């Protein structure tokens, strides 16, 4: 599966930019999209006509369709679609600005929907393709104070992607959700607005913001390595449905799955008892059991 054509959103910086480089270094061709792609042509000029920068605001469905059409006109196909564009702002749910909350969701979920939907006819007609959704380990485990819109969108992306995989598998389309932990990008830097945090939320939102998002130690993840792993994985015949990236992501994913299984097991009889033909009532588990 060499010499593939990639379509990558959010290519101007961070993981998106690293993915452009990794795909080009692997010998592939790339349609690199961003809201302001002017710098991309200069940054990747050494790769010549194997990279095609395009302007794209993923929140606009018509813009997504136009960008996909331009990609097909240039390279004739799209083998790998990467929905990477996204950002998060910090605010407690109680005091969050509704417009800001919605704006984040427009990019983080509806952007994925818009670009995926625009590319699906081409992928279906080709009878092959890979959709890579850049999510977050928070999109699996959740519970990070201060970024409710971002994490809600990532949960939505996961649900969307599971249905997408079921619907498109007969067409030869693969779907992989990537779940990174903290990486050395500007996700928690210039891309993030931290709104005022009331004193009542200092121990949750404020503490998370200080310890994680504004830590002077920096994130542990290397975007270059992550990008190379994604490219190598996509070039395989099979891809995982979900790919955690980073030590924290791996640990959190495994711990979460264990807790989920333990809780489902502890409540199994109660859960089953909701059906007509099952014994009822069932005894509730002890208070100190698994949830």
DSSP sequence for 175-195:
EEEEEE--BSSSTTTTT--B-
- Report DSSP state, residue 221: B
Whether the predicted pLDDT of 242 surpasses 50: yes
- Note whether 24 and 51 are within 8 A (CB): yes
End-to-end CA distance of the chain: 46
pLDDT 10s digits, 163-194:
999 999 999 999 999 999 887 766 556 678 98
Banded model confidence at residue 272, pLDDT cuts 50, 70, 90: very high
Angle at 105 between CA 229 and CA 202, to 5 degrees: 90
Mean pLDDT of the residues in the chain: 93
Cα distance between residue 201 and residue 209, in whole Å: 11
Q: What is the mean pLDDT of residues 276-283?
A: 97
Cα distance between residue 98 and residue 205, in whole Å: 18
What's the pLDDT score for residue 291?
60
Whether the predicted pLDDT of 290 surpasses 60: no
What's the pLDDT score for residue 221?
87
The contacts of residue 82 (CB under 8 Å, 6+ apart) are: 6, 7, 8, 9, 16, 19, 132, 134, 230
Active-site amino acid positions = 135, 150, 154
- Note whether 235 and 26 are within 8 A (CB): yes
What's the pLDDT score for residue 189?
61
What's the pLDDT score for residue 218?
57
Q: What percent of the chain has pLDDT over 90?
A: 83
pLDDT 10s digits, 107-166:
999 999 999 999 999 999 999 999 999 999 999 999 999 999 999 999 999 999 999 999
For domain 5-245, give its CATH number from 3.40.50.720, 1.10.150.120, 3.40.50.2020, 3.30.565.10. Answer: 3.40.50.720
Which DSSP helix (H) or strand (E) runs through 130?
Answer: strand 129-134
pLDDT 10s digits, 215-227:
655 567 899 999 9
- Half-sphere exposure of 257 toward its Cβ, with a 13 Å CA cutoff? 8
pLDDT 10s digits, 243-268:
999 999 999 999 999 999 999 999 99
Give which of 146, 236, 230 is closest to 180, Cα–Cα: 230
Residue given tokens 């996909």 in the structure block: 68
- Report DSSP state, residue 288: T
Banded model confidence at residue 1, pLDDT cuts 50, 70, 90: very low
Residue given tokens 């050494």 in the structure block: 46
Whether the predicted pLDDT of 270 surpasses 70: yes
Cα distance between residue 26 and residue 262, in whole Å: 42
What's the pLDDT score for residue 215?
63
3-state secondary structure of 226: helix
Q: Which residues face 154 on adjacent strands?
A: none
């Amino acid at each position: 599966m060499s010499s593939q054509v990639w379509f990558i959103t959010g290519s101007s910086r961070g993981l998106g930019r690293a993915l452009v480089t990794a795909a080009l270094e692997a010998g592939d061709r790339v349609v690199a999209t961003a809201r302001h792609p002017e710098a991309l042509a200069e940054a990747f000029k050494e790769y010549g006509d194997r990279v095609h920068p395009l302007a794209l605001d993923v929140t606009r469905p018509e813009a997504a369709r136009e960008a996909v059409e331009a990609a097909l006109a240039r390279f004739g196909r799209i083998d790998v679609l990467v929905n990477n564009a996204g950002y998060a702002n910090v605010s407690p749910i109680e005091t969050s600005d509704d417009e800001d909350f919605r704006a984040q969701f427009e990019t983080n979920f509806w952007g994925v929907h818009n670009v995926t939907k625009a590319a699906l006819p081409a992928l279906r007609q080709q009878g092959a393709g890979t959709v890579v959704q850049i999510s977050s380990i928070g999109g699996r485990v959740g519970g990070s104070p201060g970024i409710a819109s971002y994490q809600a969108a990532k949960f939505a992306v996961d649900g969307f992607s599971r249905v997408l995989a079921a619907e498109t598998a007969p067409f030869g389309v693969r779907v992989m959700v990537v779940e990174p932990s903290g990486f050395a990008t500007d996700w928690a830097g210039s891309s993030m607005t931290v709104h005022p945090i009331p004193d009542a939320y200092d121990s949750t939102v404020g503490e998370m913001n200080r310890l994680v998002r504004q830590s002077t130690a920096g994130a542990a993840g290397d975007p270059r390595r992550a990008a190379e792993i994604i490219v190598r994985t996509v070039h395989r015949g099979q891809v995982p449905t979900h790919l955690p990236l980073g030590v924290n992501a791996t640990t959190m994913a495994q711990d979460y799955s264990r807790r989920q299984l333990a809780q489902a097991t502890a409540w199994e009889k109660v859960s089953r008892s909701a059906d007509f033909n099952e014994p009822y009532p069932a005894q509730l588990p002890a208070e100190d059991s698994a949830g």
